[in-house]
Chains A and B, each alone.
Chain A
Amino acid sequence: MTDARTAELRGFKEVQRLAYACAEAVAARLRPGVTEREAARMQREWLRARGVRDWFHLPFAWFGDRTAFAGFRIPLQFFPTGRRLEAGMPFILDLAPVHRGFTADVGYSGCLGPNRLHGKLLADLEAHRELILREVRERRSLREIYEDVDRLMVRQGYANRHRAYPFGVIAHKIDRVKERRWSPHVFGFGTQSLKGLAGDALHGHRDGWSPLWSPYRFSDHPPKPGLWAVEPHLGFRGTGAKFEEILVVTDSRDPEQSAFWLDDDLPHVRRWAEAV
């Protein structure tokens, strides 16, 4: 691996750590009565204070049965609402800051107080992290991997909730973003990042691949080298849990190097390790 490549990965790793640090800091400050809007603002302010000026998307916060996207029909329902947190309620913080031109997109699932069902969902996400990495290394088509994740969820007894995301994606490509003094966003998504995604989509359309990892035909291709923000999202009767982190896919012939998780020192991974 070249030095430039290593430096680039380090940049992504740093911003992903920053994003997870933000999620953990905000999660620790959540109390009964806090609204989704307040939680989203806390994330925004925390990251602004640490130099974040642009976003892939503005921070989201979902509480209670909104973690499982119960009754979601239109994309506007993803935006934070006045729903207040209560004891025992699950929550998800989803944030995607751009820092020094590097993008991260992370999802943090937590719960206010003990909730055994939520713990079970979180524990069951581990199998999905392993399955995705294994099948990406096998260079299976993204659509097939999507279907395998779907089947595993059904076998576990859960519903696939990433299907509710735009285009039903389980993952999307992320990339470096040019730093501009003015970085507007539309519908919560940074214009610079959207531009990058649109460019990828255009190129991909010509070459037969897509930056969106979906259940549809346009994702019927082997994994494309690059950085993918992978976000399997489980739902079970009003309780939802997800993780989101960066998967690095390269064109190396060595299976180990052909795909790997950017960072293995993340809250959900540490949690699984502690449980063992």
Chain B
Amino acid sequence: MSKIANRPDWADDDEFDDPNALPPQTVTTNKDGTKTVISYRFDDSGKRIKTTRRIRTTIKKETVNPRVAERRAWSKFGLEKGHAAGPSFDTTSVGENIIFRPSVTWKKDGKEEKKVGDDPKEKLKNMKVKCRICDGEHFTARCPFKGTMAPMGEDGAGGAGAGATADGSDDGQPKEGGLGTGGGGYVPPHLRKGAAGAGERMGGKYERDDLATLRVTNVSEFAEENDLREIFERFGRVNRVFLAKDRETQRAKGFAFISFQERSDAAKACEKIDGYGYGHLILRVEFAKRAT
């Protein structure tokens, strides 16, 4: 087949003196020892492209152990018998670049890196438990004065926050507790002082992290929740992965929601994964719109 294809067809003969034919490559030696190579080619749209390259040849001498040099010339044997010199692609490949810098403080550096991606458990460790009734260091439910004393907020003692909130977080919303101070009757938990945020909205426990939730569309039919989790987990802590599945066939319907712990992680993931090829499809990632 190829032989016939390579032989010039008589019908194409006149093309040889075609003005469109490419001029031959020219090589000129310059005064400063460099070479200029000018070559021509056609690009995809049929335009003629002239390429000028200047090449400087430097001779670098390297001393090689004669025994090693001799072995380099050995012919191959076994499974490699008859193969050409040079590494073959099916056995040899180059890995990704590894940065290896020995250092005395290697262990310490590694730990600091871990701290940056703060662990929620670590955060909790430093948190102090404060009783809402007597301000002591125990949970409200275990307070010895439970039932005998009114919670601190009730008589306007102010200042103190609830159960396990980090200090400072309740300073921002002093007004909320104010609602409960008036009557002295029953105050629903979400209106009590310091019950910041969490009880404000009704709805599923996921609703509040809407801000850090991504909607992923164009997901392959054969995707699994775990695969998605793996893809997104590298950007930060993933709270929830929801992959819509057909009830009968158990195949993915083509969209998924990923809730992150932090909105910044979500933003990063949104930027990076949008357009990422997964399965045989290209993922589309955007922030989820709040269901209203």
- State whether these chains interact: no
The interface of chain A, by Cβ under 8 A from chain B, is none
